[in-house]
Structure 1
Amino acid sequence: MLIVADENIPLLDSFFGDIGEIRRVTGRNLSRSQVEDADVLLVRSVTQVGPELLAGTQVRFVGTATIGTDHVNVEWLKQQGIGFSAAPGCNASSVAEYVLAVISQFAEQRGTEDWSTLSVGIVGAGNVGSELARALERLDFDVVLCDPPRAEAEAGSEEVFVSLLEALRCDVVTLHTPLTRTGNHATYHMVSDHELAELGSEQLLINAGRGEVIDSAALMRRLEQGDAPLVALDVWEQEPRISPELVGQVWLATPHIAGYSLEGKVQGTEMVYQALCRFLGLPVRKKAGQFLPEPALSKISFTSNAVEDEAIRLALRACYDPRRDDLRLRLAMKGNPDERAEAFDRLRRDYPVRRECSSLKIQLKGTSKSLQDSFRAMGFKLKI
């Protein structure tokens, strides 16, 4: 059995080596000639999968180690009898921790001593949005959810959903929707001139969902105005050929890596491995945990003298500081469009190991119950 796989999917040999021969390929430029003799195709979001790539090939199963599926023509695969699996929720914790780190930095810049006094509007309450909401609510943030499809489907449930306009009134607005171009609640350019005009200079807009959800031209116009909001973008229109001008205008710019924790990436591989085993009728013998290495930083200690906000900020940034990715991306925005596009992909391909909060043990000596609860809410392991 021949398995053609994106070279950036981690632990390919560990999970799939005993199922078949693995041929590693560059996902962004994958061609039909590279997959025509494959039985299994494993991709990420940079590969468009549909009849143009697979018609007439012998591929019988496609797996994407990502939460999103807008790069895959799922209906066509179904019509062809080709098995398919994504990895929904695999990096939800990673993206939630990215957003928490960005909010922490925003609170510090604003001089907000208690970051939980910030209100947060989450637009898109799927796996990622729901995970983020749970963490923020455990941290005592005021959180509102905007998800029109869920609001319609769950009418009468206890969950309360607000309109996009209401969500845009929050101190922080963070986008986690899929990319859809048709239907009553299409998300393509969902945030454009009208929506951006609702945001002011004391607010923060984060997009760690899909780049095309924000109209980039409208965003540039808004950012050129004196009362513009702060904007943190992890996803961009026209990746990898993103706009260097837009990078220069936003407050925080990262190269589509919000979900790039080692745990998130390995869990994505594991979920596709499990689906392929089910498709082939094979036993599932491997789990992500058995392949995770010991983290470089394993423990931080705080004493009774720790200031709560400072301790939270320090622990979060010990796991992930988005300013480092911001710097790397800004440095990559040099040269011609081809060079910038290659640099963007290289930042993702060669992304340094990043571990989630669950990999770090927090030792607490005489600290408050409030601080203990905050660390637990963010997923840290505690030793008291």
Structure 2
Amino acid sequence: MLIVADENIPLLDSFFGDIGRIHRVSGRSMTAEDVCEADILLVRSVTRVNQALLEGSRVKFVGTATIGTDHVDEDWLLSRGISFCAAPGCNANSVAEYVLSVLSLYAERRGLGDWSELTVGVVGVGNVGGELARKLDRLGFAVKLCDPPRAAAEEGDFVELEEALACDVVTLHTPLTSTGEHATHHLIDEARLSRLGRNQLLINTSRGGVIDESALLNRLAGPDAPTVALDVWRGEPAINPDLVNRVWLATPHIAGYSLEGKVQGSEMIYQSVCRYLGLPARKKAGQFLPEPALSKLAFTSSADEVGAAVTAMRCCYDPRRDDAELRRSMWQDEPHRRATFDRLRRDYPVRREFSSVKIQLKGSSRSSQDTFRALGFKLKI
């Protein structure tokens, strides 16, 4: 059995080596010739899986190690009897930690001693938005949830988009859809951008097309513009250098790139392949996670509660490092910018989630303990 896989999917040999022969290819440049003899195809979000790629191939199973599926023509796969699976929620915690790290920087920028003074509108309350909302709620933030499809289908404490857009922070976690009653393409358009002001932060970790980038560029050039942090971009990897230079934080689509998130994606598609083939799924992601480079931090009773939490978060992840890497590439010509964007993702350094670090607290308050637990750290008291 031949398994063709994006070379950036981690632990391919560990999970799939005893199922079939693995042929690694670049996900961005994958062609019909690469997959024509494959029985199983494993991809990430950079590969368009459609008739053009698979017509005439032997592929009977496609798995994407991602939460999003807008790069896959699911209707065409179904019409050809090709099984499909994704990895919903695999990197939800990673993205939530990215947003929390950005929030901590923004609170610092605003001079807030207590970051939970910020109100947060979460637009899209699926696996990622839901996980973020739970963390924010435990941390004491006032959170407003906006998810029109869910609001139409179920009871819940959801608000209209305009109400969410009035929060201090607006963070986007929707899929990218172009049709239907709740299409999200250019959801944040010129009119909605005009309602965002200088004391607001807009974060996008969903898909670039959810924001009208042309309208965003114009808004950022105007008076009282909001602060903007973008991890996703229209036309990746050929992103707009003018927009990179205008936004406050710019990262190369890596919000979900914690090691735990990526490995969990591999595990989820491994489980689906095993079900498809009728094989027992004996392997777990935890078997393959290495010892973290940073495993313990200690704070004494004199540590400030918020300051200690921020220090711990920044030790695990500081988005300014990714921002600096991406900005340096904007001085290159367009072909080199494209190549650098993909390289930054392909060669992304190991980033561990907060749960990989044990926090030792001496004489700490119950409030401080609750903060670290809400963030996901392990505690030793």
The TM-score with structure 2 as length reference comes to 0.99
Residue type of the partner of 1:262? L
Query: 2:315, 2:239 → 1: CA distance?
Result: 29
Query: 2:16, 2:29 → 1: CA distance?
Result: 22
Structure 2 residue aligned with 1:182, among 155, 176, 179?
179
Q: Does 1:213 align with 2:210?
A: yes
Structure 2 residue aligned with 1:251, among 245, 248, 252?
248
3-state secondary structure, aligned to 1:27: coil
Name the residue aligned to 1:38.
Answer: 38
Structure 1 residue aligned with 2:226, among 216, 224, 229?
229
Q: Does 1:316 align with 2:313?
A: yes
Structure 2 residue aligned with 1:195, among 169, 192, 213?
192
Structure 1 residue aligned with 2:358, among 358, 361, 372?
361
Name the residue aligned to 1:71.
Answer: 71
3-state secondary structure, aligned to 2:232: coil
What displacement does 1:68 show?
A: 0.4
What displacement does 1:334 show?
A: 2.2
What displacement does 1:343 show?
A: 0.5
Name the residue aligned to 1:51.
Answer: 51
Residue type of the partner of 1:337? E
3-state secondary structure, aligned to 2:28: helix
Aligned residues between the structures: 381
Give runs of aligned pairs for residues 322-333 of structure 1, distance below 5 A: 322-333=319-330
Name the residue aligned to 2:379.
Answer: 382
Query: 1:342, 1:281 → 2: CA distance?
Result: 40
Q: Does 1:272 align with 2:266?
A: no
3-state secondary structure, aligned to 1:45: coil
What displacement does 1:52 show?
A: 0.6
Query: 1:192, 1:312 → 2: CA distance?
Result: 35
Structure 1 residue aligned with 2:280, among 283, 289, 302?
283
* 1:292-333 deviation line (CA, Å, top 9, x unaligned): 000000000011101011111101111100000000000111
Residue type of the partner of 2:371? S
Name the residue aligned to 2:349.
Answer: 352
3-state secondary structure, aligned to 2:89: coil
Name the residue aligned to 1:242.
Answer: 239
Which shows bigger deviation, 106-115 or 331-340? 331-340
3-state secondary structure, aligned to 1:150: helix
Query: 1:246, 1:213 → 2: CA distance?
Result: 15
Name the residue aligned to 2:19.
Answer: 19
Query: 1:299, 1:129 → 2: CA distance?
Result: 28
Residue type of the partner of 2:350? V
Query: 1:334, 1:80 → 2: CA distance?
Result: 45
Query: 1:84, 1:333 → 2: CA distance?
Result: 37
Q: Does 1:29 align with 2:29?
A: yes
Query: 1:52, 1:307 → 2: CA distance?
Result: 57
Query: 1:217, 1:365 → 2: CA distance?
Result: 51
* 1:257-284 deviation line (CA, Å, top 9, x unaligned): 0000000000000000000000000010
Name the residue aligned to 2:110.
Answer: 110
**Percent identity (aligned):** 68
3-state secondary structure, aligned to 1:120: strand
What displacement does 1:192 show?
A: 1.1
* 1:87-121 deviation line (CA, Å, top 9, x unaligned): 00000000000000000000001000000110000
Residue type of the partner of 1:307? D
Structure 1 residue aligned with 2:295, among 294, 298, 301?
298
What displacement does 1:226 show?
A: 2.4
3-state secondary structure, aligned to 1:263: helix
Query: 1:71, 1:139 → 2: CA distance?
Result: 35
Unaligned ranges ≥5, structure 1? none
**Cα RMSD after superposing both structures:** 0.5
Residue type of the partner of 2:193? L
What displacement does 1:129 show?
A: 0.2
3-state secondary structure, aligned to 2:120: strand
The TM-score with structure 1 as length reference comes to 0.99
